[in-house]
Amino acid sequence: MINYILSILLIFLISPFLTGLIKSFKMYMLFKKPLSPFQPYIDFMKLIKKEVIYSKEASIISRISPFLILAPIIVVVFLLPPIYKGSYYISFMDAFTITGLLSLSTFFLMLLGLDSASSFGGIGSSREAFISALVEPAMILTIFAVSLMAKSIGLGSAAINLATHFPTHHAASFILAGIAFFILLIAENGRIPVDNPETHLELTMVHEAMILDTTGANLALIETAGALKFGVFATLFATLFLPFGANLCWCLAVTVFILKLILISLVVGWIEINTAKLRLFKVPNLLGIAMIFGFLSLVTFYIVGV
């Protein structure tokens, strides 16, 4: 139980670091003077003290949304698979619940965008609705494929099954599902080919447009939610699709896990500096690739047989 709480704490603490790391890695690669990767923590401490400005058109939705955006993601963190073998994990929730909770968070984020009557918020919500509607099927298909390979839909037992008995003859469908999931990681967290988290230009904004009217402590909550979401996805990718290292002793396993997270962040950063943001109506092509990979993964699994 104690190591469960510790690993949850680890994910809470490391998530902002990962987003900060991506940013400083990008700046370093672009020959800018890099920020400290710990910048998100500083931002959080700064924002949380600031006063909150509500729009005069805003309703109660603006006041409750930040909590309802953050709360489901925090709950998801508690449902993540164990970092190393023997650690406690929650078995009474499965992967569908996690996608549902992430959608719940997005739902309130979109409502927040529409609440302040600004046209930017509308743009953001509308685009987010479009993207998340297309993410959903790819996500479910990938989960389906992974759960078949791991012989369990519960994330904890799936991760353990994959780590202990890796299905080597299903390596092809495993890799396909991994690629699909990685695309989803990028799309859900608003990284570059789908959304640019750094600009505030109306042509490119998706996530930023929705929270344009959010200030101070509320913004801190939402930024935390964003960072945690990245942490959640990175953890899922690390435990489900890079299933090694979990059998080591706990100190080594945790180190390997942190290294995996850093590796994922660096890969995401690497993709960001090498690609341009896609036009909104090209995004379905990228998500279509994820869907097709999800399908292919299932089909290969069925054809190869158990």
Partner 1 sequence: MFSFNPLSVLFLFLILLGVIPNLFYMSGYLNHIKRKTHFLINYFTFIISMIGVVLSNEVLVFLFFWELMSLTSWQLILTEAKEENVKAARFYFFMTHFGFVFILLFFLLLSGDSLFSDFESFKQTANNFKYPSLLFFLITIGFLSKAGVVPLHVWLPYAHPAAPSPVSALMSGVMLKVAIYAFLKFLFIFNHWPIEWGVIILVLGALSALVGVLYALSEHDIKALLANHSVENIGIILIAFGVAMIFMTLNMPTLSAFAFIAGVYHTFNHMSFKALLFMSAGSVLYETHTKNIEKYGGLIKNMPITAFMFLIAAISISALPPTNGFLSEWMIFQSMLSSSGIDNLALKLSFPFAIFALALTGGLAIACFVKAFGITFLGLHRSTNAKHAKEVNRLMQIGQILMSVVVISLMLFFPFIIKLINSSLPIENIYSKLFPTIWTMHSISNNGAVSPIYLLGALIIVSALILIYYKSLKIKERIYHTWACGYNTNVKSQYSATGFAGPIRRFFAWLYKPEIHTQTQTLAGHKTKFSTSMYEVHVKPLFEKSLYDGVKKLINLITLFVYRLSHFEKERYIVLIFNLIILVLFSFRVFYHEISWGNILLEMVVMAIFIKILIIGDKK
75 is a contact residue toward partner 1 (CB under 8 A) = yes
List binders of partner 1 among 154-173 (CB under 8 A).
154, 157
By CB under 8 A, tell whether 183 contacts partner 1.
Answer: no
Answer yes or no whether residue 122 interacts with partner 1 by CB under 8 A.
yes
Long-range contacts of 62-66 (CB under 8 A, 24+ apart): 62/112, 62/115, 62/116, 62/213, 62/214, 62/218, 64/108, 65/108, 65/109, 65/111, 65/112, 65/115, 66/112, 66/214, 66/218, 66/221, 66/222
Query: Which residues are within 8 A (CB) of 26 and not within 5 positions of it... i.e. 6 or more apart?
Result: 269, 272, 273
Q: What is the dihedral of CA 104, 108, 76, 222, to 10 degrees?
A: 160
CB of 43 to partner 1, least distance (A): 16
The tokens describing 189, both together, are 């967290």
Q: Is 5 a binder of partner 1 (CB under 8 A)?
A: no
* Binding status of residue 111 toward partner 1 by CB under 8 A: yes
- In angstroms, what is the minimal distance from the CB of 256 to partner 1? 26
Count residues binding partner 1 (CB under 8 A).
83
**Binding to partner 1, residues 260-289 (CB under 8 A):** 280-281, 284
Rule CB under 8 A: is residue 213 a binding residue for partner 1? yes
Among 2, 30, 56, 251, binds partner 1 (CB under 8 A): 56
Specify whether the CB–CB gap between 146 and 177 falls below 8 A: yes
| For partner 1, the closer CB: 143 or 262 | 143
DSSP of 203-234, one letter per residue?
Answer: TT-SHHHHTTT--HHHHHHHHHHHHHHHHHHH
Interface residue with partner 1 among 11, 14, 70, 242 (CB under 8 A) is 70
Shortest Cβ 8–partner 1 spacing (Å) = 12
SS3 196: coil
231 lines the binding site for partner 1 (CB under 8 A): no
Residue from 5, 9, 42, 133 in contact with partner 1 (CB under 8 A): 133
